Amino acid sequence: MNKERKLIIAGNWKMNKTVAEALALVNSLKLELANIREVDIVVCPPYTALESVSKVILDSNLRLGAQNMSAQNFGAFTGEICAGMLKEFSVRYVILGHSERRQYQRETDSVVAKKAAAVHAASLKPIVCVGETLAEREGSQTEAVLNTQVRGSLAGLTKEQMVETVIAYEPVWAIGTGKTATTQQAQDAHAFIRAVVAKIFDEAVAKKVRIQYGGSVKPSNARELMGQPDVDGALVGGAALEARSFADIIKNSI
């Protein structure tokens, strides 16, 4: 697949996998995906497995991601993790503003923007999640919601930082439900997000930004989704928890 932007496919393991299970998974992925160079492959285990996983993938084509990060650098923030702690384990990417954190931890666009700034300040790369709920889509609010979330969550970034930011479009109604946006729905949302980025920054920046699709991505729909002109990868949930399905998603994307 010839794209001007390199595909990036990340596995968000969420609150799954003990250290032993995490090591079994990444060891399998290392073997399955050893020859893949066309895709940036990212695995995002829970914090408890970051150190162990980082050692296993050090000499591989897999990159390490974290599922969240504090906007603070250190201090009295019980339960939080800062950039310096993540960098100790060679973390490269950090997922921010996932719909589950927006819902359960009440994270707002402005909180996500502060975290994105902190991620960039540490020379890491944020994966910023945006997406509408089923009620918002059925109420024809998709573009309004995406416009607000993209502008709010990326507020304050420079052009240089924006180019190094990944956006993940995750329609909330398709996460873990087995429902998937049609390829046209995914493409339309991605094209709209890219247009918003162009308005905030410029066309040159928008052309370089990678936008992932997330929401019940499977080996069977990966090729069609990744074939869309504005879809530059996937943020994979459930299918990333099993080596064969995650590897097949990646192989089917190229």
**One of 98, 100, 120, 132 is an active-site residue; which one?**
98
Q: What is the DSSP string of 191-250?
A: HHHHHHHHHHS-HHHHHH-EEEE-SS--HHHHHHHHTSTT--EEEESGGGGSHHHHHHHH
Taking a C-beta distance cutoff of 8 angstroms, is the pair 7, 39 a contact? yes
What span, in angstroms and rounded, lies between the C-alpha atoms of 88 and 84?
6
What span, in angstroms and rounded, lies between the C-alpha atoms of 127 and 169?
10
Q: Which two tokens stand for residue 14?
A: 């969420």
Known catalytic residue at 32 = no
Taking a C-beta distance cutoff of 8 angstroms, is the pair 24, 56 a contact? no
**One of 107, 132, 136, 170 is an active-site residue; which one?**
170
Longest dimension (CA), the chain: 48
Q: What is the DSSP string of 38-81?
A: SEEEEEE--HHHHHHHHHHSTTSSEEEEES---SSSSSS-TT--
What span, in angstroms and rounded, lies between the C-alpha atoms of 66 and 45?
7
Known catalytic residue at 190 = no
Cβ-based neighbours of 109, under 8 Å, separated by 6 or more = 97, 148, 149, 151, 152, 153, 155
Catalytic residues: 98, 170
